[in-house]
Chains A and B, each alone.
Chain A
Amino acid sequence: MHNHASCHGMQNIPMPAGAKKIVLVGNPNSGKSVFFNAFTGLYMDVSNFPGTTVEITSAPFGNDVIIDTPGVYGISGFNDEERVTRDIVVQADAVINIVNAVHLERDLFLTQQLIDMGLPVVVALNMMDEVRHNGLDINVSELSRQLGGVPVIPTVAVSGQGIKEVKAAVATAKVGRALTGLNARFNKVEAMVPDHRLALLVLEDDADITATLQVAGSGEREAIYRERRERINEVVAKSVKETNKGTRLGITLGRLMVRPLTGIPLLLATLYGMYWVLGVFIAGTVVGVTEETIMLGYYEPFVHQLVSRFVDLASPIGTILAGEFGVLTMTVTYVLGLLLPLVLGFYLMLSILEDSGYLPRIAALVDRALTSIGLNGRAVIPIILGFGCVTMATITTRLLGSKRERLIAIALLAITIPCSAQLGVITGLIAPLGARFIAIYFLAIFTTFVMVGTVLNKTLPGKSTDLLIDLPPIRLPRLNNVLKKTFNKSYMFLLEAAPLFALGALIISVMNVSGLLVAIQDVFAPVTVGWLKLPREAATAFIMGMVRRDFGAAGLSDLTMSSAQVVVSMITITLFVPCIASVLVMFKERNWKEAAVLWVSSFAIAFLVGGVVAQFII
């Protein structure tokens, strides 16, 4: 289990001698990362917290070091994020607690827990601009008084308001007023656990801390939580006034989004809108310019010319560098000309969905459907993210409540969900074929999705958790925030995809030059030609697909095929093995055995389903 209870875990964070640890703590979506970025310059360190896949960013902050933590609702050790936050917080010299001003009742639980640990705290009361829109009036000085004099600073982080003040207030961070009932409890454990912070965690029955310190928990977690909840409700009652019921439009819209009668058409319209933007506009119009005109029209001829000055283009080196699958030609054309526009488009739409508060409502709407495959509504978030990048989505399955749900979601992602780049290529190829072929493709993938989910739900032991989420108010996303998110995520995509693509191109080119490619095509001919009824060159695309599925789909787009063949090849490549990055993440998040089983099953399922469809339509 996790034995990094108190002193381990932070050795990866560079700490100059005498530097204080200033820790940023807050609920998910409280705007923590905006503060972190505002406080720090370009220089930051990203380290992986030992024993977890949780990434921790830290950066110099004057003479001190500021450390960002994952978003959590409390420090209860319910998941890796909470455990990591706990292990960092217990060593903090000061805590900047980012609180969503609109959700004080929820967010102050964590604040009070930090105060109860005896940590010096500064509270940044973020999203103050939305407070009035939501019909609230917060008495900031009263809130600070209620918390025992902890500095409370109103901020609007996205527009930079209050950041300076928070920075200045770090020096005045103060230990607030702990729950009154805690003193007597502390006395009981003081002899065994002199450290106040750890003592609170022991009182709250933290499994890891009690195990490491070899003491028994007090069995009082719930009593303490309830006292804390009552105290917070009191604090909120004394410092917040409700002036009206908030924005009518937002409330009405929120309602329409969850009622099936209006919610389902709205969801379908949203998905259709995304399909149109990605599959029709970007994959057609935009990529027509970026790939055809710019990359194939100008860039590749330029590279050919450049390379031919040094080596013969027909030589092995020339082929590897600038041939059909060349590292300098195909990789760059695919990544920049084809995939980047699609990825930008996807993340733009995803950021809008995220920031508008629509995603949790989709989760509520589809909860019922997902329970039949052993998931709850929350799983819709990794699934939608999977349409962006399966690798990233696999990491976000952590938000699911149980191991079995994570496994089901990861399997569905690995086997059935095409990522944005792949989806773009696929929609671009299938859209012109007409309704019948689109329906066949959709039906094949959907049936596989339901079958994989149902089989896993029936066979995996244990019980799935139920939906319990909060629904944030519906709001208009801010353009600069949406754009920033889009560019950051797309940039991360480039960083990750480009080397893998180059590697894939290299492997294919070497195989091509050595004659191995033709040999493999021959070996696989019974499958590709006999069973899937595709051209034998399709085998090359499948090999490319092992590196990345979108890479494979792009490879298929170069072949001359009939409409039915296109559909079969697209079904097969959609269900095909997850990309190298996804496999690595699966391996990290789960274990090699599960990753291997998933890889082999997705290989088998792809050829099985593709072949069955081929028997009917070709």
Chain B
Amino acid sequence: MLEIYPGELDVEVIFAKWRKWGANKNYGAFITFVGTVRKEGGIEALSFDLYKPILQQWFDEWQERAKERGAYLCMAHSVGNVPVHTSSYMAAVFSPKRRVALELIDEFVEDFKANAPIWKYDVKNGERIYARDRSQKIEGSGLLDI
């Protein structure tokens, strides 16, 4: 399940919803990852844009990989401004046993950083500044630079 929310995530509500979803499905492991905006570099908030059609495809491909291992993925992400000390990203894995969940949460979150079509901006004095130096080119970038 992929969920997009405007502004900061309500972590407790999302966590409770996911846990309830998995409660009767005989999963032995449930691992969550929560990304929180740190106060650094004078920012007030981070801000995000995303492109849902390709994000959904990317997520669906991961869900298929998870399914092959008997697991299930959940993800929630913000669009727009997310103030410091609040959360913009949650991911979770349900699996029958712990080992698959531990491996998948690592692989999924790392690939999310590299390939999910989401753009991050620092917010300083109300201005959005693209976080270019922390961003990664998607695999295959530069195709039109001929």
The answer to whether A and B belong to the same complex is: no
Which residues does B use to contact A, with CB under 8 Å?
Answer: none
The chain A residues found within 8 Å of chain B, CB to CB, are: none
